[in-house]
Copies of this chain bind each other. A is one copy, B any other.
Amino acid sequence: MSDLSPMDLYEKLTAQGDTVRSLKAQKSPKDYKAGCPPVDGEMVLDNGAAPEDGDDQVDPWNVSSSSAKGVDYDKLIVRFGSSKIDQELVDRIARVTGKTPHCFLRRGIFFSHRDMHQILDAFEKQKSFYLYTGRGPSSEAMHVGHLIPFIFTKWLQDVFDVPLVIQMTDDEKYLWKDLSLDECHRYAVENAKDIIACGFDVNKTFIFSDLDYMGASPAFYRNVVKVQKHVTFNQVKGIFGFTDSDCIGKISFPAIQAAPSFSSSFPQIFGDRTDVQCLIPCAIDQDPYFRMTRDVAPRIGYPKPALLHSTFFPALQGAQTKMSASDANSTIFLTDTPKQIKNKINKHAFSGGKDTIEEHRKFGGNPDVDVSFMYLTFFMEDDERLEKIRQDYSGGALLTGELKKCLIETLQPMIAAHQERRKLVTEEVVRQFMTPRKLHFN
């Protein structure tokens, strides 16, 4: 297996069955009349199939799998009706940008997309686009897993040189959690500091709290109302599983997450242009919001947003669930000390190693279920070194303790550096990022 390239290696993780292609081929184009209210039951969503018993659960509020390898992402691509990020697309991104693809692309961490080729087609014709991602600020504490979309979004911003909007859904957290509006808003500002510490360009990045921006932009509210007119309760019930007992705020919230997908929500950035396409990097659990958005877009005269989907960042205890800030033991926080990082990994990180050193030396460990190895695929930049670790661990030359040490030595400086950068993010810097203003946009 030593002649496999890193790409071949990670290709394995996202291997795409013929089923996907045949399903995609069956999809027929839909014609909508712009400005028409929805006819109930007419909305044909992009998800190819309903979940079946035994399928992984993946929605904006729950992610779980029965497999230690985690969610079956190939099945998810089929279920959601998205497209795989294959080698051809990765190569094309490299060609168009003239940059080495980010390791999240090389390693299949961003594994699925919608309409990314369309974004690249337009980009090659000098037609620009903008990036949109977001965060639900449910607590002050962000963890390493939360950084994934932001690390990747920063890379996209750098290589494509495009503006970026980041939505902090403090209103959503107020609606879903037992928190006050002021708490949610404070978390939005605190989380924004961690996001800014990822290195975004202030001249090309607008971060907004919904609670602030809704009250500061008639254009944003207009798009929210447009979406709200074109989606029925039946539809959000089908997509999000809402019930009659849910509050009306939850029921109408999806429109608020949809609205930033349209450039006219940001006249301070895009002037009166309603046609600038949006590219949304996000974890795959957010896709239901954007399936809805893509369905509504042509009916209100806007382009559909394109998407890049990431896998989940596994909990320390194993890939059956994603890392969650509400379980401290499953989580490495961005505020953890080097010692805390070391202890948590040594104590909690699920190991794919064998029970005894003798057995491990003889049969080798299983990197496919080993959380420390999974984390290294996210954060170890060096492809060759990572591949060597994989081989050594599989072959038994590398012990679990040694693998964990390797992860600890990768994470400690990375998080310390993040903490240093975050210290530099003053209230004034946050204010700059969060002020609606003109951005650098071609």
Chain A residues within CB distance 8 Å of chain B: 35, 37-38, 40, 171, 174-175, 178, 180-181, 211-212, 214-222, 225-226, 228-234, 236-237, 242-249, 251-252, 254-255
Min C-beta distance of A17 to chain B, whole Å: 36
Which listed residue, B225, B237, B242, touches A211 by the CB 8 Å rule?
Answer: B225
The answer to whether B248 and A231 have CB atoms under 8 Å apart is yes
| Cβ contact within 8 Å between A232 and B252 | no
Q: How many copies does the complex hold?
A: 2
Cα-based distance from A247 to B236 in the complex (angstroms): 10
A101: min CB distance to chain B, Å: 39
B218:A247 contact, CB within 8 angstroms: no
Contacts of A215 in B (CB 8 A): 214-222
Q: Which chain B residues border A221 with CB–CB below 8 Å?
A: 171, 211, 214-215
- With a cutoff of 8 Å between Cβ atoms, the chain B residues found around residue A228 in the complex are 175, 247-249, 252
Main secondary structure on A side of the interface with B: helix
Q: Which residue of B lies closest to A228 (CB)?
A: B249
Q: How far is the CA of A180 from the CA of B34 in the complex (A)?
A: 11
Q: Taking CB as reference atom, which chain B residue is nearest A222?
A: B181
Q: By CB atoms of chain B within 10 A, which of A228, A246, A247, A254 has the most?
A: A247
New contact pairs (4) apart from A211-B221, A214-B214, A233-B242, CB-CB < 8 Å: A181-B226, A214-B215, A229-B249, A236-B248
- Docked-complex contact B35 and A180, CB < 8 angstroms: yes
Report how far A254 CA is from B180 CA in the complex, Å.
Answer: 21
Are A249 and B244 neighbours in the complex by a CB distance under 8 Å? no
Shortest distance between the CB of A322 and any CB in chain B (Å): 26
